[in-house]
Amino acid sequence: MSTRSSTALFLFLITISTFPSMLKSTVQVKYSRDPVRRTEGQPLTLKCTAEYEEENCGNIRVSWCLTSQELTDPDRYLIHINETKIGGNRHRDAFITFTQLTVNSTGFYQCKAVCQHTGTTAIGHVISVNVTGDANKGLKTLNRSDRHSVDVFLLAISVFILL
């Protein structure tokens, strides 16, 4: 093999061995694609995992968004963050818990991670959250006297059926 072709082979090998790491980005976000269905008042927590290289990314900011708007209102969302170092990478989990899930919580949510060093941003796919009204809500909020009248009404129905 001539020196020239072995040099070319050498460069080729370097190229294919570095290619996968070139494809891997500084920061990426991962979370479920499954659409979420809930009834109002039920609990809901969404989890997003941001994987980033501390060296290139620096500190990171991970947030959940609704139509590009970051969700920060502490009365409506509880945010929990934790992080684990895995080799030279870090995995940061961002959990968002809805304090009160209402029909208005319905929408398309996505997670975003921003490197504070470089501004490099990873924006995930949108997931659909569909919250429907609670059909039993009316009955649940009945007060004692109302409930009593419902009981009497049901009693009347059962007497009627027995007859």
Ligand X SMILES: *[C@@H]1O[C@H](CO)[C@@H](O)[C@H](O)[C@H]1NC(C)=O
Interface residues toward ligand X, by CB under 6 A: 82-84, 91, 93, 102-104, 106, 130, 132, 141, 143, 145-146
Contact 109, 63 (CB under 8 A): no
Which DSSP category does 58 fall into?
-
In the complex, the smallest distance separating the C-beta of residue 103 from ligand X, rounded to whole angstroms, is 6
Q: Which is nearer to ligand X, 74 or 119 (CB)?
A: 74
Q: How far is the CB of 84 from ligand X (least distance, A)?
A: 4
Nearest to 45 by CA among 103, 89, 109: 109
Q: Which is nearer to ligand X, 103 or 123 (CB)?
A: 103
Tokens 């649940």 belong to residue: 140
**DSSP three-state, residue 34:** coil
**How near is the Cβ of 118 to ligand X at its closest, in Å?**
22
User: Is the Cβ of residue 4 or residue 85 nearer to ligand X in the bound state?
Assistant: 85
Q: What tokens does 113 get?
A: 């991670």
